[in-house]
Amino acid sequence: MDLLFGTLSLDKHQQNSKRTSPEEDSKLQHSPFDSFKISSTAILDTLNTRSFCPKCTRSMKYFCYWCYQVVGCQRSDVPYLELPIKIDVIKHIKELEGKSTVAHAKIIAPNDVSIYSSLEIPKYENPDRLLLLFPGPDSKTLNEIPRDSFDKLLVVDGTWQQASSLTKFTEELKNIRKVTINPQKTLFWRYQNKSENYLATIEALYYFLKEYYVTYESITDNENSYNGKYDDLLWYYKYFYEFIQSSYRNDKGKKHFTTRHRQGYIKYDE
């Protein structure tokens, strides 16, 4: 189902000191994230060069998608979330690390998100206590599932074809109860030959947690609706989306976004 907007391209754009930052530009232009309660991403605008990952020493920007380490700034500069459920991400072996958005979740919620290769899926002792986030005719929504019937969420990560193959043919996954979310429109910048309801993995995780809150947590929190509790899961995602929008708006007429993407993806005019 899935980042990075070419880190080399990001480097090149950010060398132009006159360029409006994504956060500044989003204040001038309407952003789909305006109503979200996402912490300021201003620190990311200061990262103009690559830095070494503190763990593997690879030269990276923003974070290391191999080690899931913050790069170029302090961990305290990045939001930290505690999630209401443990999440295991099963990444297809052919999914490129730099294209996957699940690194965002691992960095922002490190104690609750684990990532495994599809060749190293854990042996779950109680598969009946698991949910697999994936759409299908046998999938149920959370309001059809008692909270005390599951302990962990599994998520597959890869292109749509890769993810579908994992859920159908992987012995450890094919019989897991499936949960789905209400239809949402993706904001993902990478082209995919699917409808706009096919989400990036980080988007799917976010909307699952949003529905989780409404279904199970809102009553105990005395809330009538979702309160933005898990919005920071989209912290990196918001930044990259707004960076791309800002870059192409500021360079209108000089560079063009891929024509394969849906028409109007870049919001040149409000």
Q: Could you read off the pLDDT of 25-79 as tens digits, one per residue? A: 555 568 899 999 999 999 999 999 999 999 999 999 999 999 999 999 999 999 9
C-alpha 42 chain-centroid distance:
19
Q: Which amino acid is at 63?
A: F
DSSP readout, 45-96? HT--S-EE-TTT--EEBSEETTTTEE-SS-GGGS-----SSEEEEEE-TTS-
pLDDT at 21: 62
Least confidently predicted of 126-135, 188-197, 210-219: 188-197
pLDDT tops 90 at residue 122? yes
- What does the pLDDT look like over 197-208, one tens digit per residue? 889 999 999 999
pLDDT at 56: 97
pLDDT at 257: 60
**φ/ψ (deg, to 5) at 193:** -85, 55
How many CA atoms does the CB half-sphere of 23 hold within 13 Å? Answer: 12
- What does the pLDDT look like over 67-105, one tens digit per residue? 999 999 999 999 999 999 999 999 998 887 877 899 999
Q: Which amino acid is at 205?
A: L
> Who wins on pLDDT, 166 or 19?
166
pLDDT at 245: 86
pLDDT at 159: 85
> Who wins on pLDDT, 5 or 267?
267
Return the domain boundaries, the chain.
77-246
Average pLDDT over residues 216-242: 91
Coil, strand or helix: which one is 168?
helix
> Who wins on pLDDT, 58 or 254?
58
- What does the pLDDT look like over 136-191, one tens digit per residue? 999 999 999 999 999 999 999 988 889 999 999 999 998 999 999 999 999 887 76
pLDDT tops 90 at residue 252? no
> Mean pLDDT in the chain?
85
> Who wins on pLDDT, 187 or 270?
187
Distances (CA, A) of 124 to 139, 173, 176: 20, 10, 11
Q: Which amino acid is at 93?
A: I
Do 93 and 190 touch, CB atoms closer than 8 A? Answer: no
pLDDT tops 50 at residue 268? yes
Quote the CA–CA distance of 218 and 28 in Å, as a whole number.
Answer: 33
Average pLDDT over residues 130-135: 97
Output the pTM of the full model. Answer: 0.85
CATH code linked to domain 77-246: 3.40.1280
